Amino acid sequence: MERIADFFRWLNDAHGVNLSIFYDAFDRSRFLEGLWTTVELSTICTALSLAIGVLGAWLQGARFGLVRQLVQAYIQFFRNTPPLVQLFFFYFAIGNELPHVLDEHGMLVPPISNVGWAILSLSLFAGAFNVEIFRAGIEAVPRAMVEAAESLGYSRLGIYWHVLLPLAFRISLPALNNNLVNLVKTTTLAYAIAVPELLYAAAQIWSEVLNVREMMNVLLVTYVALIAVLVAIMARWERALRIPGYDP
């Protein structure tokens, strides 16, 4: 470890290539914390957006027209407006208007922190796409399956949960994976509301240590590598779940 640190210190002194995250503990810890926060943010938002997707697809088949219209309104709103503006809207506009609560120091603070708003906003954004993806997947399930389940006496919820969803999940897995990759890329937007994810950490480092060029390259390579790993895992999972002979 020391050897590596020395090498990068030499690189800085001799050639002016300042990769401080390798030899400075404070910068390294900030960078790794940023990376970890990005991973956390992605994981939580994926889980939440999947839940929203499942719920939304279920509500789209509801009996009441009003419920269906509301779900449509939600989807169209979040799919056709910029996620950055949504994020700002939630954090600065709605966050300000919510009734403030007292924190442990006796100060009035908004009830949801900036990380909370980032999670909420990104999950709603990805969830809207997931609802559409699940709907397409559900539509692609042969009607015969549903009729068979009905004839076996399943309730509407039972059909949805035990028959439709598992099959639709497999069918829509490629689209879901694509959405997940987009979600990980979209977490970089949280930088604008000071969520300490990877881009934020890198920006902090380069504005203090003044090594913009090096940090930019490191940042780009890190993200590409992170997402390449994710894509590889997802591709392997898709292959594992493929039903032989069934290729929609």
Partner 1 sequence: MTTLPVLLTPGKAALSRPSGDGWRDLFGGGALGVVLAALGISILAGNAHAAPSLGGSPGVLAILLKWAPLVFQGFLFNLLVSVLSMLAGTGLGLWLGLGRVSQLQVLRRVSGAVIQFFRNAPWLVLLFYCMFLLPFSVSLPFGTVPLPDAAKAVIGLSLPVMANVAEIVRGGVQSIPLEQWESGEALAFSRRQILWMVILPQCLRRMIPPWMNLYAILTMSTTLISVVGIQDSMTLARAALVAEGRTELFIPMYLMLLSWFFLYCYPIARGTAALERGFRVRI
Partner 2 sequence: MLGMFTRAALACVLLAGSLAAPARAEDTLDKIKQRGTIVVGVKNDYRPWGFVDPAGKIVGMEIDLAQDVATRLGVKLELIPVTGANRMEFLNQGRIDLILATMGDTPERRKVVGMIEPNYYAGATNVLAPKSAQLKQWTDLKGRKVCAVQGAYYNRRVTQLYGPELVVFPAVPEAVSALQGGNCVGFLFDDTLIVSTLSAGDPKWRDYEMPLVSEDPQAWAMGVKLDDLQAPFGMFLKKLSIDWHKAGTLVELEKKWGIKPSPFLQEMHDKYKGG
CB of 204 within 8 A of CB of 210? no
> In the complex with partner 1, which residue's Cβ is closer, 107 or 144?
144
51 binds, among partner 1, partner 2, none (CB under 5 to 8 A by kind): none
> In the complex with partner 1, which residue's Cβ is closer, 140 or 241?
140
> In the complex with partner 2, which residue's Cβ is closer, 72 or 177?
177
Question: d(Cα 148, Cα 218) in Å, to the nearest integer?
Answer: 55
Q: What's the residue count for the chain? A: 248
> In the complex with partner 1, which residue's Cβ is closer, 5 or 192?
192
> In the complex with partner 2, which residue's Cβ is closer, 125 or 206?
206
By CB under 8 A, the residues from 130 to 159 that bind partner 2 are none
Is 32 one of the binding residues for partner 2 (CB under 8 A)?
no
Is 227 one of the binding residues for partner 1 (CB under 8 A)?
yes
Selected range binding partner 2 among 56-64, 131-139, 151-159, 185-193, rule: CB under 8 A = 185-193
159 binds, among partner 2, partner 1, none (CB under 5 to 8 A by kind): partner 1
Nearest to 46 by CA among 145, 155, 182: 182
Residue selected from 73, 98, 241, 243 as contacting partner 1 according to rule CB under 8 A: 73
Nearest to 140 by CA among 152, 151, 132, 149: 132
> In the complex with partner 1, which residue's Cβ is closer, 123 or 211?
211
207 binds, among partner 2, partner 1, none (CB under 5 to 8 A by kind): partner 2
26 binds, among partner 1, partner 2, none (CB under 5 to 8 A by kind): partner 2
Residue by residue, DSSP assigns 89-140 as: IIIIIIHHHSPPEE-TTS-EE-SS-HHHHHHHHHHHHHHHHHHHHHHHHHHH
What residue ranges bind partner 2 (CB under 8 A)?
Answer: 15, 17, 26, 92, 95-96, 100, 105, 107-110, 113-114, 191-194, 200, 203-204, 206-210, 212-214, 217, 220-221, 224-225, 228
Contact residues: partner 1, CB under 8 A: 57, 60-61, 63, 68-70, 72-77, 79-86, 88-89, 92-94, 96-97, 135, 138-140, 142-144, 146, 156, 159-160, 164, 181, 184-189, 191-192, 199, 212-213, 216, 219-220, 223-224, 227-228, 231
